[in-house]
Structure 1
Amino acid sequence: MALARHVLLVEDDPLVRMTLVEGLSDSGFAVLEAEDAEMALRMLARHPEIALLLTDINLPGADGFALARAARVLRPDLPVVYASGRFRQAEPGRGLAGAPFLAKPFSVACAAATIAGAMRALG
């Protein structure tokens, strides 16, 4: 069975989101996109093929930490990757255990490798 490669990208900056969607698509991922946590949760509920959540921490409304916890209620085994331009690492105790963190700016190649590794880790 082929590894699912559908990623839900949650990023409120349109330019960053567009760049990542294009780059991750070129890297072989099918990317769905959302600009906030509310939209992301609706997409997770409607798209069972989503295999990983890549979320910015700083989102309008619910932040990426709250989004990841809510996503895990819907999908308990969903891998999560956090990203932020304001922090160099996830705040201790706020992120999900074992969830990778990408400090912005990061390359698309780095994001693709991190996503692939998180998907592999799940099995």
Structure 2
Amino acid sequence: MAIAAFLLMSKSGPAAAAILIVEDEPLVRIEMASSIKDAGFTAYEAGNADEAIRILEQHSEIRLIFTDIHMPGSMDGLRLAHYVRGRWPPVKIIVTSGMVKVRSEDMPEGALFVEKPYRPEHVTDRVREMVAA
């Protein structure tokens, strides 16, 4: 069944699945959004948690957020991840950082941590798996 779900999430399939990339570094955000789009998903971009929350409120098709921990604004990416888990429980969460290693007990339930530097292809593979689950 997991293989069938993965195949459904191929380039031709995930039109209804959208991914929100939350990253304050524009070049990193643009590269990740490009990788997500190349994988066949719709990509939304936010530079901080406040912007991310506004986008989530407007786009119910978002199925996963990919957030950096360190960014400006009212909360960091880890706090955003917990906020999203509480307000939008079905949304999957991937957290990333190159400065901090996050313990699993500090993450929201079901969230995944990806350490920077990462390969965009590695992240899109995790996105496919999590959205298909």
Q: Which residue of 2 aligns with 1:72?
A: 85
Q: Does 1:57 align with 2:100?
A: no
Gaps of 5+ in 1: none
Matched, 1:27 2:39: yes
In structure 1, give the amino acid aligned to 2:118. Answer: F
Q: Which runs of 4+ in 1 moved over 4 A?
A: none
Q: After TM superposition, list the pairs within 5 Å mapping 1:12-23 onto structure 2.
A: 12-23=24-35
Task: Report the Cα offset of residue 92 of structure 1.
Answer: 4.6
TM-score normalised according to structure 2 size: 0.82
- Give the Cα separation in 1 of the matches to 2:70 and 2:113: 13
Tell me by how many angstroms 1:73 deviates: 2.9
Which blocks of at least 5 consecutive residues in structure 2 are unaligned?
A: 1-7
Secondary structure in structure 1 of the residue aligned to 2:20? strand
Contact 1:100 1:118 in 2 (8 A): no
Larger Rg computed on CA atoms: 2
Alpha-carbon shift at residue 98 of structure 1 (Å): 2.6
Maintained 8 Å contact 2:92/2:110 = no
Letter in 2 for 1:117: E
1:72 Cα deviation from its structure 2 partner = 2.3
Distance 1:94 1:18 in 2: 28
Percent pairwise identity: 34
Q: How many residue pairs get matched? A: 120
Aligned partner of 2:99 in structure 1 is 86
Return closer, same or farther for 1:115/1:30 CA change in 2, 3 Å cut-off.
same
Equivalent pair of 2:21/2:45 in contact (CA under 8 Å): yes
Compute the RMSD of aligned alpha carbons: 1.7
User: How far 1:93 moved relative to its partner?
Assistant: 2.9
Question: Matched residue of 2:124: which SS?
Answer: helix
* TM score, norm. by length of structure 1: 0.88
Deviation of 1:74 after TM superposition, in Å, equals 2.5
Q: Deviations over 1:21-65 (max 9, x none)?
A: 112111111100000000000110110010111111112131111
